[in-house]
Structure 1
Amino acid sequence: MRKIVGIVLLGLAAAAAAGATFLPLSELLIRLAPGQPQTAYVTTGWSTRFGGTEDEHGPLFGIPVVLAAAALLAGTRWRRVAYAGAAGLAGVTGMLFVYLLNAISFHEEGNIAIDPALEAGFGNGIWVLVGAVVLAFGAVVVHPDD
């Protein structure tokens, strides 16, 4: 029974982590000129969009997340690999969280004089990644020993 629960949790964690890379990790609403509507600047694991324009040089935050998710899937067989995948996912998520926190704090402190009503915050993707980390470590705990 523990093995089945561990496999399900690892699968859910891997799917959540990979899926989170397509969700917004951070969102910024900025007005480029007085009287203009705010434009969304959205970063995902694979792209950055400003309004309807997509940056051709995406951030590629998704690559290490997908690699950690693949390690989680390989961990369905070996507990040590599952632990390595969970640790890798936690490391990538933590580093991404701190990076985005710094970027969001920079914008919220009024460092951009264009729009005093600027809004910056985390997107749903970062919270899904945090949830995937919790699922991954839960899977490691219930994973039967080798």
Structure 2
Amino acid sequence: MKLLSAVLLAVAAAAAVAATFLPLSELFIRLAPDQPQTAYVTTGWSTYFGQTKDEHGPLFAVPVVAAAVATLLGIRWRKVAYAGAASLAGVTGMLFVYLLNAISFHREGNITIDPGLEAGFGSGVWVLVTAVVVAFAGVLVHPDD
């Protein structure tokens, strides 16, 4: 069980860090009626509008990486594994709610430039949610100290 727990916790930590490089949210907007839609993509480290990178990145990844490190340290101690999984769940939940609010704002037509605007979660959010589930699975099979 110790090996299975270690593998699950390591996979969860790696998946969480990898998720920070994937799109967390995606917005496709047309700035003028005759223009193609432009992608506005946010990752854990940066935001891109088309090919232009915003020089002031969101840094959503910093608490995710900190939670992943705690999860990884939990390979040795069950209580630390639980704390790491819980912090990863908290960070993921807060990020999910933040992005849900931003996506809902755009879906409700608050930007009237483009009635065909598309907004949604990126793959990074779903990888983070999966990492949380795997982390808690690692906690469940972790042998007691």
TM range (shorter): over 0.9
One-letter amino acid of the structure 2 residue matched with residue 119 of structure 1: E
1:100 corresponds to 2:78: no
List per-residue Cα deviations over 1:8-52 (Å, max 9, x = no partner): 000000000000000000000000001100000000000000001
Which residue identity is paired with 2:84? G
1:10 aligns with 2:43: no
* 2:101 alignment partner, SS class: helix
Name the structure 2 match of 1:55: 54
Partner of 1:43: 42
CA distance in 1: counterparts of 2:101 and 2:71, whole angstroms: 28
For residues 67-146 of structure 1, the aligned pairs below 5 Å read 67-146=66-145
Cα deviation digits, residues 93-114 of structure 1 (max 9, x gap): 0000000000000000100011
Runs (4+) of structure 1 moved beyond 6 Å?
none
Q: In structure 2, what is the Cα distance between the partners aligned to 1:134 and 1:116?
A: 37
Q: Structure 1 counterpart of 2:117, which letter?
A: L
Report the number of matched residues.
145
Task: Write out per-residue CA displacement over residues 44-75 of structure 1, whole angstroms, 9 at most, x where no aligned residue.
Answer: 00000000100010000000000000001110
Q: Percent identity?
A: 77
Name the amino acid aligned to 1:133: V
Alpha-carbon separation, structure 1, partners of 2:71 and 2:118: 35
- DSSP-derived class of the 2:55 partner: coil
CA distance in 2, matches of 1:122, 1:71: 26
1:19 matched to which residue of 2?
A: 18
State the alpha-carbon separation in 1 of the partners of residues 140 and 19 from structure 2: 23
Gaps of 5+ in 2: none
User: TM-score, normalising length from structure 1?
Assistant: 0.99
* RMSD (CA atoms): 0.3
TM-score of the pair, normalised by structure 2: 0.99
- The residue type equivalent to 2:71 in the other structure is L
